[in-house]
Structure 1
Amino acid sequence: MKIALVSEHASPLAAAGSVDSGGQNIYVANVARQLARKGHQVDVLTRCDRSLLPLVSRLDGARVINVPAGPKRQVPKEQLLPYMEGFARFVVEFSRQEPLHYDVVHANFFMSGLVGLRLKETLSIPLVTTFHALGRVRRLHQGVNDGFPDERFDIEDRLVRDSDSVIAECPQDAADLISLYQADAARIDLVPCGFDHDEFHPVDKRAARAELGWPKDRFIALQLGRMVPRKGVDTVVRAVGLCNRTLGEEVDLYVVGGNSDEANEIATPEIGRLRAIARECGVTDHVNFLGRRARSLLRLYYNAADVFVTTPWYEPFGITPLEAMACSTPVIGADVGGIRYSVAHGETGLLVPPKDPLAVAHGLVMLKRDPPRVQRMGAAGLARAKEMFTWESVADTLSGIYARVAKIDVAANAGPHAHNGAHDVRLAAGGASA
């Protein structure tokens, strides 16, 4: 098949970890890479956000089309909607000039969905949509701090109604689509995110700590991801304060992420807020902000940690817990969204309420006092990640969905994981609301 992946603000070429570069960038890059490995022709259509980018870049067998739409610089995603008309016009004309027409368009995020709808309407190309985050859920949690315009809700309603398939990344995502958007469960396919075993796998903890210069005999928790308030890093900092100042157990925290390679409060204001919380809790000597790190190095950080902690207020899926599990590191995660799906409570880690530092602290103390349990959870997490959450299986499943909506017979090439997820969604949605 010839497949168009539209991802207006999240380029697969961007460095993950900054404010508007995270899970969606990783998702699009890995889906494109795996689909190309399976022999499909893949174009990723993303907004050109740098002045020197060529129209066409290459990514492991796929093409990245850097679409001219708006200024050729970084623009916060909350301000991109006015440029989507120009983006859509360019993509339609680009598609018409291609020698082979696209068989399917897969829109990622609601603004990409507008482009997908234009391709569907003008060129009769079937549309698959992954929202990655739902506007009504975001508004519920962020309130007046949600910078997206209210038009987002009508656009999402239209996409839910007119897409040939809507991808839910976890059972909670499916339940939200049904309850908040009146989605037809028969047109929802459940497809999670994944990890690449070549990129994330276990290595010796002592060797990883030695390479990073970390102390070999400390109990270390890792937090890794975008430095924005909704990720709940303040909860982890306060939990470390409780461990060290109240519960009588020394725990160190290393925080990876930000808009620069150094932990710069000007480049990343959230780091300044978190440092103030660490001072307030009396644990500045136990909380280490490292700044952004290249993806090629992240495996070392996951493996060097005793436990990975992620406590967002809400999370449409969350790729970092999978990466930690793939490195045999147990996860303490907020009991929300995709984390509730990926982390098996008591088996691969612990689920805790969001915004609850004491629950996180009790989890950290319990794991510090029970090293054999840490080992068992790490091994179970690796097994679960390999069984349920690989990018190869994600691409297999998506290939089957693309073929179904495009009415193309590719049964002979469908991998063992390919399936129609509608039945899974009905079961999952029922379980989520029970």
Structure 2
Amino acid sequence: MSHGQISYHFFSFWLMIGLFPRSEKITVVGTGTGIIKPFYEKKNYTKPKILFAAKGRFKDKGGDLVLKAFFKALETLPELELSIVGQNDYSDQISHPRIKTYGFVSIEELQQLFNSHSLFLMPALNEPWGLVYIEAMLCKMPIVGLNRNSFPELSKNGEYGAIISEPDSVALADSIIRLFEDPIQLEQIGIEAQKFALANFTWENTVNKILKVMEVSDEWKAEKK
């Protein structure tokens, strides 16, 4: 029996612990994208606008770390802005003139937020896959996260943003500052990130990989008859 997995990270992990001793029985098929559509228009990277989106699990998604890093980076980049979206009580818990909080928003509003921001920050402590990272790249936002779970795979080891080895707010702030200090390079990273997401994360690719596995399986069964 063959098993399809969406992530090379979990493929490697399960092989390591011996859950699936036969690697030839596992095929990484990936995923497509969600509700966010690609943004093809020109984006303004001279305005340092960070987006953090989480429908829940604020701390687990790295929300506390984002706030600490934001305030640290704000000392160097006073024009820095942070938008936090996804939960209705964010406005009650967070208040600062450079931070905008949103609750549950419509798909149209969420799309606009993805279109208008220039950096996506979610240093999640435990995010098994992270479809939102792919959606951010579709909108030409470089992504910043931790070196754990599938983030190295999705960001190509930080090539499409920045990768932080540990949940350290100072290191996270340094990455924010470094990325925004060169808006031309940031724009190029965003463009390349979108190309990577469009080329590698489509439902068509996923379905084709699944069909190929099924075809091979059918051929194998026919040979055994």
TM-score range, shorter chain: 0.7 to 0.9
Asked whether the 8 Å contact 2:133–2:143 carries over to 1, the reply is: yes
SS in 2 for 1:328: coil
1:374 aligns with 2:199: no
Q: 1:293 to 1:180 in 2, by over 3 A?
A: farther
Q: Which residue identity lines up with residue 330 of structure 1 in the other structure? A: P
Q: Which residue identity lines up with residue 74 of structure 2 in the other structure? A: N
Question: How far off its partner does 1:347 sit?
Answer: 3.2
1:183 aligns with 2:27: no
SS in 1 for 2:82: strand
2:115 corresponds in structure 1 to: 303
d(CA) in 2 for partners of 1:168, 1:375: 32
d(CA) in 2 for partners of 1:375, 1:205: 8
1:32 corresponds in structure 2 to: none
SS in 1 for 2:37: coil
1:234 aligns with 2:64: yes
Q: 1:234 to 1:373 in 2, by over 3 A?
A: same
2:83 corresponds in structure 1 to: 254
Q: Give aligned pairs, total.
A: 218
Superposition TM-score, scaled by structure 1 size: 0.46
d(CA) in 2 for partners of 1:264, 1:248: 27
1:244 corresponds in structure 2 to: 74
Q: 1:317 to 1:183 in 2, by over 3 A?
A: same
- Percent identity between the two aligned chains: 20
User: Residue 288 of structure 1: which of 81, 100, 108 is its match?
Assistant: 100
Question: How far off its partner does 1:400 sit?
Answer: 2.3
d(CA) in 2 for partners of 1:408, 1:198: 38
Q: Which residue identity lines up with residue 232 of structure 1 in the other structure? A: G
Question: How far off its partner does 1:403 sit?
Answer: 4.1
Question: How far off its partner does 1:350 sit?
Answer: 0.9
Q: Which residue identity lines up with residue 80 of structure 2 in the other structure? A: V
d(CA) in 2 for partners of 1:286, 1:390: 36
Asked whether the 8 Å contact 2:47–2:118 carries over to 1, the reply is: no
Asked whether the 8 Å contact 2:114–2:136 carries over to 1, the reply is: yes
1:10 corresponds in structure 2 to: none
d(CA) in 2 for partners of 1:254, 1:196: 20
User: Residue 6 of structure 2: which of 169, 194, 197 is its match?
Assistant: 169
Unaligned runs of 5+ in 1: 1-163, 207-215, 266-270, 410-434
1:353 aligns with 2:186: no
Question: How far off its partner does 1:336 sit?
Answer: 1.6
d(CA) in 2 for partners of 1:292, 1:181: 41
d(CA) in 1 for partners of 2:80, 2:137: 20
Higher relative contact order (Cα pairs below 8 Å, separated by 6+ residues): 2
Unaligned runs of 5+ in 2: 221-225
Larger-gyration structure (1/2):
1
SS in 2 for 1:254: strand
Asked whether the 8 Å contact 2:151–2:157 carries over to 1, the reply is: no
d(CA) in 1 for partners of 2:216, 2:66: 44
Q: Which residue identity lines up with residue 191 of structure 1 in the other structure? A: V
Superposition TM-score, scaled by structure 2 size: 0.84
1:8 corresponds in structure 2 to: none
Q: 1:165 to 1:347 in 2, by over 3 A?
A: same
1:130 corresponds in structure 2 to: none
